[in-house]
Amino acid sequence: MVIGVLKEAQAGETRVAATPATVEQLLKLGYEVVVEREAGEASSFTDDAYVDAGASIGDALSADVVFGVNAPSKAQLDGLKQGATLVSLLSPRLDQDMVDDLARRPITALSMDAVPRISRAQSLDVLSSMANIAGYRAVVEAAHTYGRFFTGQVTAAGKVNPAKVLVAGVGVAGLAAIGAAGSMGAIVYATDPRPEVADQVKSLGGEYLSVESAEAEVSATGYAKEMSDDYNQRAADLYAKLAPDVDIIITTALIPGRPAPTLITADMVASMKAGSVIVDMAAANGGNVEGTVKGRSVVTENGVTIIGYTDLAGRLPAQASQLYGTNLVNLMKLMTPEKDGVLVLDFDDVVQRSMTIVRQGELTWPPPEVQVSAAPAARAGGSASAPEPVAPPEPMSDDKRLVIVLAAATVFFILAAIAPATLVPHLTVFALAIVIGYYVIGHVHHALHTPLMSVTNAISGIIVVGGLIQIGRHDDGITAISTLAILLASINVFGGFAVTRRMLAMFSRS
C-alpha cells in the first residue's frame, strides 16, 4: 500500500505530516511513500531530502493512505480515491460539518486528536505532543515580549528580581510551560482543579496553588472537567489576588468539545502591572482571557500584552513535524501487525475504534466512552468510596524514652563489668561513635541525605572519637597521627555542612 503526505492547504500552516526520518520508518513497515511537492518546505524539509530517504514526489491524493496535519480542504477531499484511509487532525468534537461531510464519502477517516488518553496510546497522542511544544513556545513568546530577565540576578548595576509566572491549567502544555519557565529562573505558580497534579508541579520546581473545594477529585478522563459556579468563584478570587503580583500569566484551560472557560477577567487584566504578559493558549476555542484576540497579540490600555496566537506548535515547525510524524508512525505500527505494508483497522482495539470517524462511508462517531483513569468508582448511593483515615502514630512519651535509655545504660555497664579489661575501651569508642554519628547524620538536610553523605559523616565521626581517645597516649607519633586524624575528619564534617548550606542557599528565592 502507498502512503501519501499532503501539502497543507490551511494558510500559515508550517507543519508537515511526515519528515525524512519518519519516511524511513514507514518504509520499514512495508509501505511506499509519496510526498506532495514542497510539502515540507515550511518545515525546512526539501523534496530532495524526502527522495534521499526513499520517498517519491508526486500526487499524494492518489495514495491508499493519506496523511495530513489539519483537516483537508474540500478540493483535497474530493481528490481522495474510493476506499482511501485519511489520517489527520479532524476535530470531530468541534466540527460537526466535517463529520457530516466525511460520512457522505466512501472513505475511512481517523482523527489523530481523538486518541484516548490511556497508557497504551501515549506514543500516538498528538494532542500531548503538540501541547508539549506549545507550552514551551508560550514561555518563549512571553519572555520575548516581557523584555526582562526571568532569573534573579545581583549585578554591579543593581539587583534584578526573578519574574513571577502563573500557569493556569496543569495539563501537558501547562507542565511544559512550568518546566521551561522554571529552567529560565522564574518563580512559577500553578493552579488546576485536579489535585493529583500537585506532585507533578512540585517535581518541576513550581508551587501548586489549590482551590479548596469539595469538587476537587481525581480525573476519570485525563482532562479537567467543567466546574460549578462555586468552584469558579473560588478560583476567580485566587486569580484576582495573584494578578497584581505576577508578571506573566499562561492559561491552558480547555474542555474537550466545549468553548474555553473564562479564567482571567478584564478587571484582573486591568489590575496587572504595565509590561506584564498574558499568553492565552486557549485562544483557538474562544480564550481563557477577556480581551484575547484569536491569532493576534494586543496591548491593553494599562500596558498588558495579551498573546492569542493559535499556532504556537507551528512556530517550531521542524520539531512539531518530527513529533507529529512519529505519532503517525506509531499508529501505523499498531495498524500494520505483520509489517507487510497492509493497513488493518481493528475495531476490537479501543484505540483504533476511538479514532475512527468514518469506516468505509459508515459513520462511527462518537465512539464508546473509554475509562482512562484509576479513579475510585462511585458506590450505588452515588458517593465515591473514601479510604478510612489512618490515625498517626502516637509520639513516644518522656517516661518511656527514659526507661529505654536507663535499660540500655544498664546493659552497657553489665557488659563492661563482665568483659575483659581490654574490651572496655573498645565498647566506649563504639558507644561514643554511635552517639556522634547519629547527630552528625541527623542534622543533614533531608534533600541531601544520600547514602554517601551518611556514610562519610558517620566514618568521620568515628575517626574524631578514635583520635580523641588516642591523643592522650604518651607517644609523640601516636599523638601527631591522632591530631592529624581529628583535624582532617573535622574539616570533612564541618566543611560538608558549610557546602550543604551554600548549596541550599542557591535554590532559595526571595
- Quick: pLDDT tens for 192-243: 888 888 999 999 999 999 887 655 554 455 555 566 677 788 889 999 999 9
pLDDT of 381: 46
CB contact at 8 A, 433 and 461: yes
pLDDT of 131: 93
pLDDT of 380: 47
Measured distance CA(83)–CA(361) in Å, rounded: 9
Measured distance CA(187)–CA(180) in Å, rounded: 11
End-to-end Cα, the chain, rounded Å:
61
Backbone angles phi, psi at 400, to 5 degrees: -65, -40
Over 90: is that where the pLDDT of 77 sits?
yes
Give the β-pairing of 207-208 and 187-191. parallel
Greatest alpha-carbon span in the chain: 104
Give the range among 70-79, 218-227, 387-396, 402-411 with minimum mean pLDDT.
218-227
Interval 89-103 mean pLDDT: 92
CB contact at 8 A, 92 and 111: yes
The dihedral over CA atoms of 45, 48, 54, 58, expressed in degrees to the nearest 10, equals 90
pLDDT of 404: 87
Interval 50-68 mean pLDDT: 96
Interval 163-184 mean pLDDT: 94
The catalytic site residues sit at 117, 122, 125, 128, 223
pLDDT band at 382 (very low <50, low <70, confident <90, very high): very low
CB contact at 8 A, 190 and 212: no
pLDDT band at 255 (very low <50, low <70, confident <90, very high): confident
Give the β-pairing of 362-363 and 164-168. unpaired
Over 60: is that where the pLDDT of 384 sits?
no
